[in-house]
């Protein structure tokens, strides 16, 4: 059985104080379950704080972005080595906000993906279509091109140590959620595409859903065959909501 992953993308939210309180509740409430990974991705300046606060709890730590460069004159960037130094095991790459607001291209995302896997940091590769693309019937083509851009450069072997997150752009932060059927259809298409490169890798690769996932809709989304967890924005900032989603995911492992 594939791993299940419940990941919180805190985006650019929080303060030392709010993060201490959130992590206090999460470390007290999180339960270690075989095959279930709980991950939090704080804003970069707070990664060290969260590393301290998580202590020995079964919460893994990730970043929301990274440079593909190792070191040097890259003002405002940080490297995979630095993330590892702080205890990060994962990094979110190619989030739609980075693509649309900061001009990240498929090629940039592919470079970062290769660098992350080669540095032993697990990339959480985000892909997804806009509303316009969905309405034009282009969803599968768009998502498949985003996967191909990375697959062609990184090769299928690197996907053995990766996670994909399908995040329809129109569902992010809008309160609109893909229906379980809509999400399942895209997840299955991604898996079929990967299977053409390597069936074993495709069968093992966790594909998460992201886009207004919350405590109320997690069960029906996570019940789908090809949905292996969630990448959660807004609801990951509320300890009860996030822990409820973790509990739903834990149920799915039984």
Residues of the shown chain interacting with ligand 13P in the complex, contacts defined by CB under 6 A: 9, 95, 167, 172-173, 210-213, 231-235
Nearer to ligand 13P, 72 or 103 (CB): 103
> How far from 208 is each of 2, 29, 51, 71, 161, CA to CA, in Å?
11, 22, 23, 31, 14
Rounded to the nearest whole angstrom, what is the least distance from the CB of residue 10 to ligand 13P in the complex?
9
Q: Are 92 and 43 in contact (CB under 8 A)?
A: no
d(CA 234, CA 11): 9
Q: How far apart are the first and last CA of the chain?
A: 11
Rounded to the nearest whole angstrom, what is the least distance from the CB of residue 254 to ligand 13P in the complex?
25
Nearer to ligand 13P, 176 or 199 (CB): 176
d(CA 21, CA 126): 28
Q: Which helix (H) or strand (E) holds 80?
A: helix 80-85
Rounded to the nearest whole angstrom, what is the least distance from the CB of residue 62 to ligand 13P in the complex?
11
Q: Which of 37, 97, 104, 167 is catalytic?
A: 167
Q: Are 40 and 27 in contact (CB under 8 A)?
A: no
Known active-site residue 167 = yes
Nearer to ligand 13P, 184 or 201 (CB): 184
Sequence-distant (≥ 6) Cβ neighbours of residue 103 within 8 angstroms: none
Q: Which of 37, 90, 95, 241 is catalytic?
A: 95
- Is 37 buried (19+), middle (13-18) or exposed (0-12) by CB count in 10 A? buried
Task: Tell me which residue has its CB nearest to ligand 13P.
Answer: 233
d(CA 104, CA 151): 17
Q: Which helix (H) or strand (E) holds 254?
A: none
Rounded to the nearest whole angstrom, what is the least distance from the CB of residue 226 to ligand 13P in the complex?
18
> How far from 178 is each of 37, 117, 160, 217, CA to CA, in Å?
23, 29, 27, 10
Rounded to the nearest whole angstrom, what is the least distance from the CB of residue 176 to ligand 13P in the complex?
9
Nearer to ligand 13P, 71 or 179 (CB): 179
Nearer to ligand 13P, 201 or 208 (CB): 208
Nearer to ligand 13P, 54 or 99 (CB): 99
Known active-site residue 90 = no
Rounded to the nearest whole angstrom, what is the least distance from the CB of residue 252 to ligand 13P in the complex?
19
Any idea which residues carry the catalytic annotation? 95, 167
């Amino acid at each position: 059985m594939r791993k299940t992953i419940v990941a919180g993308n805190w985006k650019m939210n929080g303060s030392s104080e709010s993060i201490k309180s959130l992590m206090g509740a999460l470390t007290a409430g999180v339960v270690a379950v075989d095959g279930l990974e709980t991950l939090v991705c704080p804003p970069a300046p707070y990664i060290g704080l969260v590393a301290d606060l998580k202590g020995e709890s079964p919460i893994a730590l990730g970043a929301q972005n990274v440079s593909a460069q190792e070191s040097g004159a890259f003002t405002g960037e940080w490297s995979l080595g630095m993330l590892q130094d702080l205890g990060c095991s994962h990094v979110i790459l190619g989030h739609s906000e980075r693509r649309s607001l900061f001009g990240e291209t498929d090629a940039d995302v592919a470079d970062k993906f290769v660098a992350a896997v080669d540095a032993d940091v697990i990339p959480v590769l985000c892909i997804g279509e806009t509303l316009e693309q969905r309405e034009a019937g282009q969803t599968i083509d768009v998502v498949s091109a985003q996967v191909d851009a990375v697959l062609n450069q990184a090769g299928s072997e690197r996907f053995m140590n990766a996670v994909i997150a399908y995040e329809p752009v129109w569902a992010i932060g809008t309160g609109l959620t893909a229906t379980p059927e809509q999400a399942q259809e895209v997840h299955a298409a991604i898996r079929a595409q990967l299977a053409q490169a390597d069936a074993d890798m495709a069968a093992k690769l966790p594909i998460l859903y992201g886009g207004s996932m919350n405590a109320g809709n997690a069960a029906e989304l996570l019940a789908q065959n090809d949905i292996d967890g969630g990448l959660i924005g807004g609801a990951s900032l509320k300890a009860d909501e996030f822990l409820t989603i973790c509990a739903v995911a834990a149920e799915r492992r039984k």
